[in-house]
Amino acid sequence: MATKEEVCACIRKIGILPAIRVHAAEDALFVAREMLEYGIPVVELTTTIPDAARVIAELSKTNPHLMVGAGTVLDIETAKACVDAGAVFVTSPGLDPKIVDFTVKHGLCAIPGALTPTEIMMAQNAGADMIKVFPCAQVGGPAYIRAMRAPFPHVPIVASGGVDQITAADFLRAGAQALGIRGKLIPPEAVEKRDRNWIKELTGRFLSIVHRARQEYGLT
């Protein structure tokens, strides 16, 4: 199992954290394996997926090079089920210090959601490894991330919520270390049709955007 340091390093290196929110376990297995195939070895599997813990367990067992985390974790019971299944990180749409504490105590990567300066401070104090600013596009987009980076220059931010091909580079330039992306990377229709070429194309585009933005702006 990957260490929390390895998970954080992977998310920073790739610059993309795919959020897999689909309607069936088989869809989740398909998408996660496609992400790995096309160059993204870390995925967030939301607990809204039926049998999410089972899917995490199966992916952890059959795809050892894929780092699978649990997303949309809203309580300790769900966090425990996902961690027991093999999740290597836990993330939530908002901040619950109890979930962060649980994750940290298990030696796993904690990525709580936060929006306001107060929540970011609380997440830091709780021991968060990275902080997912969500929903960032709806509250100002890259400008909001830039505003948060001013008082929190050393906080590893994952910009999530409304990131697309047009805004991705701007979020990185504003200071996000990674981008949480869902529908713009994993279209529901592509999943339904098992359209591997569509997913491959989008994965390649987003990876290229991250690479070019980092080169152009001298980002690390």
The CATH number linked to 193 is 3.20.20.70
pLDDT of residue 34: 98
d(CA 2, CA 15): 18
Q: What parts of the chain have a pLDDT lower than 50?
A: none
Which positions are annotated as active-site residues? 44, 132
Q: How far is CA 27 from CA 59, 118, 160, in A?
A: 12, 37, 22
In a domain, 87, yes or no: yes
Classify 127 in phi/psi space as left (phi over 0), alpha (psi -120 to 50) or beta.
left
- Residue 177 in tokens: 């270390």
Give the dihedral sign, CA 6/148/181/109: positive
The predicted pLDDT at position 220 comes to 66
Q: Count the neighbouring beta carbons within 10 Å of the beta carbon of residue 216.
A: 11
Domain assignment of residue 102, yes or no = yes
* Number of domains comprising the chain: 1
Q: Which residues contact 7 (CB under 8 A, 6 or more apart)?
A: 42, 67, 69, 88, 89, 108, 109, 129
pLDDT of res. 210 = 98
Q: Does some domain include residue 76?
A: yes
Q: Which residues, in sequence order, are CB contacts of 96 under 8 Å at separation 6+? A: 74, 75, 112
CB of 48 within 8 A of CB of 72?
A: yes
Domain assignment of residue 117, given as a range? 4-212
Q: Please state, rounded to an integer, the average pLDDT across all residues of the chain.
A: 97
